[in-house]
Amino acid sequence: MKSWKHYLGLTVVSSALLLGACGSDAEEDAATDEATEEQAAESGTASESADQSSEEAVEGQVSGDGSSTVAPVMEALVEEYAASGTDVQVTVGVSGTGGGMEKFIAGETDFSNASREIKDEEKQKLEEAGVDYTEFLLAYDGLTVVVNSENDWATELTVEDLKKIWVEDGTTKKWSDINPEWPEEEIVFYSPGTDSGTYDYFNEVILEEEDMVQDATLSEDDNVLVQGVQGDKNAIGFFGYSYYVANQDTITAVAIDGVEPTNETIESGEYSPLSRPLYTYVSNESLQNDAATYDFFEFALENAGDMAEAVGYVSLPQEVSDEQITKLEEFKN
């Protein structure tokens, strides 16, 4: 759209033409005035545009930590955000859901990724620390139980089988304890560490708060769990769906109560009880007062669906995704 100064210049020209009796000098003067006015208008518009661009430029640093399960989605978002040409630097650590929450409570981070809902005791600590926050959904995951690719017997288990396998009962667990037709071989266990939201979720829905087998190898690094299962025919482990998808040629996903984990069964909830949402918790103060944090999460929530699918998770339904964006917009200045 041309500025009002441009149209004023045209008016000057028209007036000059109507006053032809003033001679060619007047016409030349009018033309000169028009050119001057247009140059001034263009200069003013360019200056305004430069000022607006300067005002809109966002820079700064944003830091987060938390779940290793959420990490593939968040790291993909950070990478795409950086590639967009932003001057905002975003860093994301992987201390597990519980470890990330500790840093969030201490005020060390702007956001905390979680593969489970925030616990009541964490809510209380955040309140005591004066940290207000907002919960955002990013994607859906199916906690995936896996066995070695050479294991051709335990490819289907029930929830009760899982509990029998994983709950500590003082015995040395063998596959034949679950089914007499299975090998009389000791089961080798790989589990996320106790700071992991994946551990917490498995503990809640499968172990039902009973103790996990004592000889399980625990790690906050899901890649360590993948490699452990890959390396032992009698191994069993569990972790987020994307880690299975990335390694599905070398490990086998176990069907639970006859349902295999897939994008469709995870989104529909049919893969129960191991389907779950993935979260990030963001400081309200950072969203309200730090343009860099707001800018990053505006990008993250708009692109979370594509990035979730790209790394092997399940995107949110559009209406749920829109709800997350609406929550974020409440902090827009």
Residues 153-180: tens digit of each pLDDT: 999 999 999 999 999 999 999 999 999 9
Q: Of 7-11, 29-33, 52-56, 106-110, which gets the smallest average pLDDT?
A: 7-11
103 and 113 co-located in one domain: yes
234 within domain boundaries: yes
Residue 17 has pLDDT above 60, yes or no: no
91 within domain boundaries: yes
Query: 195 lies in which domain range?
Result: 142-275
19 within domain boundaries: no
167 and 130 co-located in one domain: no
Q: Whole-angstrom Cα distance, residue 88 to residue 83?
A: 11
Domain boundary among 230, 257, 275: 275
Q: Of 12-26, 65-79, 282-296, 304-318, which gets the smallest average pLDDT?
A: 12-26
Mean pLDDT of 62-81: 96
Q: pLDDT band at 82, cuts 50/70/90?
A: very high
43 within domain boundaries: no
CB contact set of 314 (below 8 Å; sequence gap of 6+): 139, 140, 141, 142, 241, 263, 266, 267, 308
Q: If you compute the radius of gyration of the chain from its CA atoms, what whole number of angstroms results?
A: 30
Residue 244 has pLDDT above 50, yes or no: yes
44 within domain boundaries: no
209 and 106 co-located in one domain: no
219 within domain boundaries: yes
Mean pLDDT of 77-88: 97
96 and 217 co-located in one domain: no
191 and 243 co-located in one domain: yes
Domain boundary among 275, 290, 311: 275
CB contact set of 225 (below 8 Å; sequence gap of 6+): 190, 191, 192, 217, 219, 237, 238, 239, 243
Domain boundary among 237, 256, 275: 275
160 and 209 co-located in one domain: yes
Report yes or no on whether pTM surpasses 0.85: no
111 and 202 co-located in one domain: no
Peptide bond into 317 cis (omega under 30): no
CATH number at residue 227: 3.40.190.10
SS (H, E, C) the chain: CCCHHHHHHHHHHHHHHHCHHHCHHHHHHHHHHHHHHHHHHHHHHHHHHHHHHHHHCCEEEEEEEECCCCHHHHHHHHHHHHHCCCEEEEEECCCHHHHHHHHHHCCCCCEEEECCCCCHHHHHHHHHHCCCEEEEEEEEEECEEEEECCCCCCCEECHHHHHHHHECCCCCCEHHHHCCCCCCCECEEEEECCCCHHHHHHHHHHHCCCCECCCCEEECCHHHHHHHHHCCCCEEEEECHHHHHHCCCCEEECEECCECCCHHHHHHCCCCCCEEEEEEEEEHHHHHHCHHHHHHHHHHHHHHHHHHHHHCCECCCHHHHHHHHHHHHCCCC
Q: pLDDT band at 52, cuts 50/70/90?
A: very low
Q: pLDDT band at 57, cuts 50/70/90?
A: confident
CB burial string 34-73: b at 16+ within 10 A, e below = beebbeebeeeeeeeeeeeeeeeeeeeebbbbbbbbbbbb
271 and 285 co-located in one domain: no
301 within domain boundaries: yes
- Asked whether the beta carbons of 70 and 114 are under 8 A apart, the reply is yes
Residue 14 has pLDDT above 90, yes or no: no
- How many domains is the chain partitioned into structurally? 2
pLDDT at 19: 33
106 and 218 co-located in one domain: no
268 within domain boundaries: yes
261 and 186 co-located in one domain: yes
Counting residues of the chain whose pLDDT is more than 90, the rounded percentage is: 80
pLDDT at 99: 95
207 and 254 co-located in one domain: yes
CA distances from 225 to 104, 105, 325 (A): 26, 28, 35
Counting residues of the chain whose pLDDT is more than 70, the rounded percentage is: 83
The string of pLDDT tens digits covering residues 253-292 is 999 999 999 999 999 999 999 999 999 999 999 999 999 9
CB burial string 141-171: b at 16+ within 10 A, e below = bbbbbbbbeebeebeebeeebbeebbeeeee
198 and 290 co-located in one domain: no
Residue 104 has pLDDT above 60, yes or no: yes
Please, what is the average pLDDT of the chain? Answer: 87
